[in-house]
Structure 1
Amino acid sequence: MAGVEIEKITMSEIIWPQGFVPGFTDNYCSNELIVAGLSTADIWPLLNTPSLWPRYYANSANIQFQDGLGPELREGTRFSFETFGFPVEARCVEYLAPVKGQPARVAWHGWAGEGDARLDVHHAWLIEDLSGDRVRILTQETQNGLPAIELAKTRPNPMINGHQDWLEGLRTEALKIKGRK
C-alpha cells in the first residue's frame, strides 16, 4: 500500500515434540486471536488454572489434579478433564510463565482410550504481548490415533470450532475481569 509504513513484527511459534509435528500427525488444528486492550498477564491466570476453564469454556469439565498438585499447571503436573466427549488424562510437558519480553507457553500431552481407540494429543498454547497494547493467543493441537483420523474428516471440524470457542471464552472472561465487555 502506497504511503503506509508497515511495521515488521516477528511472532513466536509453538515448539513441537517429536511424533506430534503438524503435517505428520493424524489431525491438526490451529486457532488464534489477537486482542487489543489485554495482556499476557490478563490471560495467563485463566489458562494456567484449569479449574477456571469451565467458567468460560463449556466444553471442559471435571478437572482433577493427580499427586496432590494443583490448582495451577506447572511442568510435570498430571491432571485429567473431560472435553469433546472424551475423558482425558494429561501431563503438562511445557511450562513457561509470563516473563517480560518472552511469550508465555504451556502445553500438555493428553491421552484417552486404549488400543485402537486410543487418542494421543499435544495441545500447546502461546501467549505473547504485541505492540499497540495487544495480546496474541495461539492454541494448536496435533493428534494421533483412529479417533483423530475420524475427527479430521468431520465437518464442521469440531476441534477448530471447539478451540475457537475456548479462545473467545477466554477473551470474554479476561475482558469481563478487566471491567470491559
Structure 2
Amino acid sequence: MPRLIAPTADLHSAWLEAHAEWGAGLHEDGFGLEASDEVGSPEGFAAWVALLTGASGAKSAATDGGCSYRWIVEGDRVEGGIALRYGLSDQVTEFGHIGYGIRPSSRGRGLATWALGRMLDEARVLGLDRVLLVCEVDNLGSVGTIERNGGVLESVRDTGHGPARRYWIEL
C-alpha cells in the first residue's frame, strides 16, 4: 500500500536506488533536486532533506511562497516524489502548482494518479481554489494522470524547453 511521507534521511539508500533508475541528470520531478545538491553522501543527503523539510510547512497560499515535498513510498522502496508549490512565484507560473515523478519501473500502476489526488487534498487545506499543472505535450502518462484528477486543458504553449500542456484543476 503506497504512502505519502515527508522526505527523510532514513531512506537515503532507497532514494539513491530510485534516483539511479532515472539515469544521469535532473529529471525526477517532485523531488526538488537541484544541480548543486550533493545527495551521494549521508551528510549531504541529510542536509538536502533538511532543506526540503524546511521549505515545507503551513504558509498562507495567498501571500507566501513555499513548497511541500512528499515521497511516494511502498514498504522501504521510494517509488517517486510529488511537490505542491504555493504562492505566486515564477516557478508556479512556469511549472505549475504540482509536479511529480514516478521511477520508471513503477510507472503504469496508478501511483501518480493516487499521489496527485492526495496532494489536491493538501492544496484544499492550504486554501487554494484551483491548481495549475504543466506537462510536456507528449507525456501521455501525465496527461492521463491530470485528466483522471479533473484537469481541464487551458492551452498548449512553448516553454522554451518545448511545448507544454497547461491544465487547471478546480478544487
Same fold (TM over 0.5): no
Q: Report which of the two has the higher share of helix.
A: 2
Q: Report which of the two has the higher share of strand.
A: 1
**So what's the TM-score if we normalise by structure 1?**
0.30
**So what's the TM-score if we normalise by structure 2?**
0.32
Q: Which has the higher contact order (CA 8 A, sep 6+)?
A: 1
**Larger radius of gyration between Structure 1 and Structure 2:** 1
